[in-house]
Structure 1
């Protein structure tokens, strides 16, 4: 059996590689080992404190006497490990995403420069080394400040003016304010997710979702979730998304794999936000499995090893789907609905509550992947499913207590 090296642990990735006939070796953190063992991967696990660090990956393989020449493919389904996987793949001559493409898929400034150079609408942006370099001129706002290679909206800040900038500088004195940071023009418009598959430079599948609220709203307690948009109801949007995605992927050199692209809908055009070369977070993947029979994790694995894509031709049903993260205020949980409780809600078809009494709820305003749980709802229309998602979020909050 051929072998594939996977950098970092993400649920379902190793299983998907195994399903296409490759034996996976996984470079994971010690914290991820328990999850890997529960998934049945007692063999082929190699630990490193930081799988995103090429030096640590190479040293871990050497410690375990693993011959890198044995790997036919090297990849990752984790955002932060993209450059490490492509670099190791290039070193051993294995199938992998090209290094220059991996860098563009990670660094937001380099990415926007490449996309803008291709003539696509994109936010103006620049780099600052420290937060002290934020503009003092009122005309320089509003802006969004974020890490160059951030993920999950962590350390992303919306600054409406110089007072906001001063507060951010005060909250991160000294080295805490060091970046480099990306400073981006604030773009108006509803925030969209565009997810799909590209092979040999051609789009094989594309689906558009709209966030319940633009993701930056989590900083003020906004929900994390979205509604999958049906193509027949959004012809203009799907045409614009297809054109933007095709041109952006070409500019980034991402010709084989899956993608998660975000854009702002301004009606007459879509403005590019950013693009990743991995499966989306949230429950977009699960919604696409239900709606289209399209498994992006399986397609990621097929692209990784070079086997043919398997894209369904027709939707599975005529329903609309939406998802959201279940929220709780930070603190020790004393009351919270269970998974079974959420599943009893009208129109909810999938749910998982991950916390409960005795656990500590994190501050969900700091990152979009922090949650108490999550769920999917389905209905006959987008309007109905969106209302059901909001209703379930409100119900969950009203039946949750922390101290």
Structure 2
């Protein structure tokens, strides 16, 4: 039997090999890592009809599960499970609660603090009316987007019009606007099984992800024992959110803001593993493989998790490296200056610019969250011209 994976992520390929599972990928981008693998190319992973045609052709009835580590194929995965009678969530309405930011925030009760959220009418974008509802500064973003792509603060009609020129709304429900939430951005990753959190880890971004368009570094560091109170509160908060959304058994990624007064505010939550290198550094830190856990959940079996959870001896964090025209750097420059666990920074002629302007990455470690953040900040400053 074959597990179908919607979208390529190396972690799934490695986890499937370790588990002795046959893997077939359905992808909308051809990446070097696909060489030698079984895959089908489609135009759009969010097009459930096209993806269904692809998996009906192959592997068809030999399919035992479908998984994804990406946001946009989640609805397609739900449809495939329903059609082929596979384990996992088959409820399209529930899937939508984990895809659409407006639907998600309406689905939770008032006891869950969230940003105020509304769809943006592209035919009559009225900053003044929206500012009265959401505040003088609000955030525009795709309703079903991922990461912080096309996510920008809006401070006036001119900015709103410019945003829509650069990111045209496809429909009346494709773009949302949300009230701006000030605070530190954290996230909770884990396994939700049988109506409770079976395992969780809490991490903090180096800076709010939305700041990447202004030159802020995109980096992530797990919290350590010194932040145990925040970790416990964030875990309880995540459990409340997932219960209110009637979450299925799933690996999840929840983002939240910590206001200056300590209140937690829901950013969004996805019923899939975190993006970027977060699963990789959580495995290094905690010994838990969220790709393997996703495969287990997809096959309808309880993931193998450490009981009780162990305190990590070291914390590992990641940072995306960018190309700065004012600073010519090589991979060896990072190796010589920093004690990196892993670094990838190809020569400019081999650039593959990805999400958040990524041209490479580095992974570092430290004994504490504070030490890890200091190390990531030092790399971020070195990566950019001053």
Superposed pair shares fold, TM > 0.5: yes
Q: RMSD of aligned C-alpha atoms?
A: 2.7
1:140-180 deviation digits (Å, cap 9, x = unpaired): 4211001111112111111123343244345567x789763
Q: Distance in 2 between matches of 1:58 and 1:337?
A: 43
2:93 is aligned with 1:92: no
What does residue 246 of structure 2 align with? 253
1:210-267 deviation digits (Å, cap 9, x = unpaired): 111111111211110122111x312331222122111111222323121111000124
Q: Distance in 1 between matches of 2:335 and 2:292?
A: 27
What does residue 375 of structure 1 align with? 362
What does residue 206 of structure 1 align with? 200
What does residue 220 of structure 2 align with? 226
1:345-383 deviation digits (Å, cap 9, x = unpaired): 333222222x31324575x8xx53x31211122223322
Show the 5 A alignment for 1:269-308. 269-308=263-302
CA contact (8 A) 1:263 1:271 kept: yes
Q: Distance in 2 between matches of 1:265 and 1:304?
A: 32
Q: Distance in 2 between matches of 1:258 and 1:79?
A: 12
2:340 is aligned with 1:348: yes
| Count of residue pairs the alignment pairs up | 380
What does residue 393 of structure 1 align with? 380
Compute the TM-score of the two structures, normalised by the length of structure 1: 0.85
Query: Where do 5+ consecutive residues of structure 1 fail to align?
Result: none
SS in 2 for 1:198: strand
CA contact (8 A) 1:131 1:179 kept: no
2:74 is aligned with 1:82: yes
The 3 A distance-change label for structure 1 pair 306 and 132 is same
Aligned counterpart for 2:187 among listed residues 171, 186, 193:
193
The 3 A distance-change label for structure 1 pair 236 and 162 is farther
Q: Distance in 2 between matches of 1:7 and 1:26?
A: 6
Q: Distance in 1 between matches of 2:170 and 2:68?
A: 29
The 3 A distance-change label for structure 1 pair 359 and 73 is closer
The 3 A distance-change label for structure 1 pair 166 and 47 is closer
* TM-fit CA distance, 1:307: 2.6
Show the 5 A alignment for 1:64-143. 64=57, 66=58, 68-98=60-90, 99-115=92-108, 117=109, 119-130=111-122, 132-137=124-129, 139=132, 140-143=135-138
SS in 2 for 1:392: helix
CA contact (8 A) 2:125 2:161 kept: no
Q: Distance in 1 between matches of 2:292 and 2:372?
A: 27
* TM-fit CA distance, 1:192: 0.6
Q: Distance in 2 between matches of 1:343 and 1:310?
A: 35
2:9 is aligned with 1:6: no
Q: Distance in 2 between matches of 1:102 and 1:170?
A: 30
CA contact (8 A) 1:126 1:184 kept: yes
What does residue 357 of structure 1 align with? 348
Which deviates more, 207-216 or 252-261? 252-261
Compute the TM-score of the two structures, normalised by the length of structure 2: 0.89
Q: Distance in 2 between matches of 1:350 and 1:263?
A: 28
2:145 is aligned with 1:158: no
SS in 2 for 1:136: helix
CA contact (8 A) 1:130 1:179 kept: no
The 3 A distance-change label for structure 1 pair 193 and 129 is same
Q: Distance in 1 between matches of 2:151 and 2:123?
A: 13
* TM-fit CA distance, 1:317: 4.2
1:99-129 deviation digits (Å, cap 9, x = unpaired): 33322111111111112x3631111111123
SS in 1 for 2:147: coil
Q: Distance in 2 between matches of 1:169 and 1:23?
A: 43
Aligned counterpart for 2:322 among listed residues 306, 327, 332:
327
The 3 A distance-change label for structure 1 pair 57 and 327 is same
CA contact (8 A) 1:320 1:382 kept: yes
Query: Where do 5+ consecutive residues of structure 2 fail to align?
Result: none
1:293-337 deviation digits (Å, cap 9, x = unpaired): 1111111111111233222345474333332111223x7x99431
